[in-house]
């Protein structure tokens, strides 16, 4: 097998948006630069902030460069539509909501392609890692919210009257399809798995200003065209059991055409045997505890909170973990 086919870890790209803080360091134990850190882009092929391979034969190359080099061997044949567009399908982030994010919505693929210069839409999921007491987030709309009422409340500066607030705790999964009104609120740290897109339409930004002292731009007209007004008072994703052994419980915690996300919770020391057979890459993330990826007689440690990208043609592999280790697994269905 080529020396370029091996599990890939990446050097993150950090974002200093105004709502960030230091919780990626204090709560997750991550090394971050000084100052405000709102997001850590862990695995990114987005042209605005591509991540570089951290180790091995491909060290220093960006994910888009690796995709150009390996193509379907990296992404898998299920991702051919994305390969034709020169895009790696997914983007992985860590977020620290030290202050509320703007109330926002993301478009679906067709709308984004038509209105955002061929950009992808953005369906995403959140896996909650840490919350302060009584944490909640904005997710969908209150029952009875019509486009007309929404616009009226927006004009009055009382949009909160239309928004649904969902309590969250560590371990919750929240699936956010394109068209969902949503916002992280203060006191939440999470992992985000999403389409490879940075298209966001802000609807409401709490009347605050950005680093330049000016209000951040809103995108109300586009937002009104893509909001799903039928999404009222949704709940966190109900995990679907796939497999339970003496060592781990395996569940689906988000599923859509763009990606599936599974959660593996190890009850005691053990391993999960997998195979990258050419159909899809897999991204594994250790959320709590410590795991190790083994393949072809080699191994790579993956402590929390860390992610690794397994190329589609890697072949057989195993994830070894101890008790109280939780992992996420993302792939193209």
Q: 192 has which bridge partners?
A: 93, 126
Confidence of residue 210 (pLDDT cuts 50, 70, 90): confident
Chain region(s) in the chain for CATH 2.60.120.10: 10-226, 240-331
Question: What percent of the chain is predicted at pLDDT more than 90?
Answer: 95
pLDDT at res. 241: 98
How far is it, in rounded angstroms, from Cα 70 to Cα 50?
A: 16
pLDDT tens string 55-72? 999 999 999 999 999 999
Query: Mean pLDDT, to the nearest integer, of 146-156?
Result: 96
Residue 211, pLDDT score = 77
Q: If you count them, how many residues does the chain have?
A: 333
CATH architecture, domain 10-226: Sandwich (2.60)
What's the pTM value of the predicted model, to 2 decimals? 0.97
CATH 2.60.120.10 for the 240-331 domain, yes or no: yes
Give Cβ neighbours of residue 40 (< 8 Å, ≥ 6 apart): 12, 13, 14, 15, 24, 30, 32, 93, 94
Q: What is the pLDDT of residue 213?
A: 85
40: pLDDT strictly greater than 80 = yes
> How much is the average pLDDT of 164-178?
98
Catalytic residues: 202
CB 184 within 8 A of CB 190: yes
Mean pLDDT value of segment 323-331: 97
pLDDT in tens, 93-102: 999 999 999 9
| pLDDT of 148 | 98
pLDDT at 305: 97
Please name the helix (run of DSSP H) or strand (run of DSSP E) that holds residue 155, with its range, or none.
Answer: helix 147-156
* Local structure of residue 102 (DSSP, 8 states): P
CB contact at 8 A, 231 and 140 = yes
Alpha helices in 135-241 (DSSP H): 147-156, 220-226
Strand-pair category, 325-331 with 163-167:
unpaired
Q: What is the pLDDT of residues 229-285, one digit of tens each?
A: 999 999 999 999 999 999 999 999 999 999 999 999 999 999 999 999 999 999 999
């Amino acid at each position: 097998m080529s020396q370029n086919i091996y599990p890939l870890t990446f050097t993150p790209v950090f974002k200093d948006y105004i709502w960030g803080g230091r919780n990626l360091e204090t709560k997750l134990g991550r090394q971050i630069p000084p100052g405000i850190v709102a997001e850590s882009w862990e695995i990114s092929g987005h042209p605005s902030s591509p991540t570089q391979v951290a180790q091995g034969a491909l060290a220093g190359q960006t994910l888009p460069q690796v995709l150009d080099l390996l193509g379907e061997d990296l992404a898998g044949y299920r991702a051919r539509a994305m390969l034709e567009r020169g895009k790696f399908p997914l983007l992985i982030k860590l977020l620290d909501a030290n202050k509320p994010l703007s109330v926002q919505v993301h478009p679906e693929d067709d709308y984004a392609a038509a209105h955002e210069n061929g950009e992808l839409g953005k369906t995403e999921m959140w896996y909650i890692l840490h919350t302060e007491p009584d944490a909640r987030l904005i997710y969908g709309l209150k029952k009875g919210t019509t486009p007309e009422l929404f616009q009226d409340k927006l004009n009055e500066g009382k949009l909160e009257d239309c928004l649904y607030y969902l309590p969250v705790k560590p371990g919750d999964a929240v699936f956010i399809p394109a068209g969902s009104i949503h916002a992280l609120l203060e006191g939440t740290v999470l992992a985000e798995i999403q389409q490879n897109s940075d298209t966001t339409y802000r609807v409401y930004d709490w009347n605050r200003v950005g680093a330049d002292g000016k209000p951040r731009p809103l995108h109300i007209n586009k937002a009104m065209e893509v909001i799903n007004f039928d999404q009222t008072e949704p709940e966190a994703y109900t995990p679907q059991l796939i497999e339970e052994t003496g060592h781990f419980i395996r569940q689906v915690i988000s599923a859509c055409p763009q990606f599936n996300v599974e959660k593996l919770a190890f009850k005691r020391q053990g391993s999960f045997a997998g195979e990258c057979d050419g159909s899809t890459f897999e991204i594994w993330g250790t959320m709590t505890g410590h795991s190790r990826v083994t393949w072809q007689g080699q191994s790579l440690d993956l402590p929390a909170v860390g992610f690794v990208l397994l190329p589609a043609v890697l072949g057989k592999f195993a994830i070894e973990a101890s008790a109280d280790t939780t992992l996420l697994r993302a792939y193209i269905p």
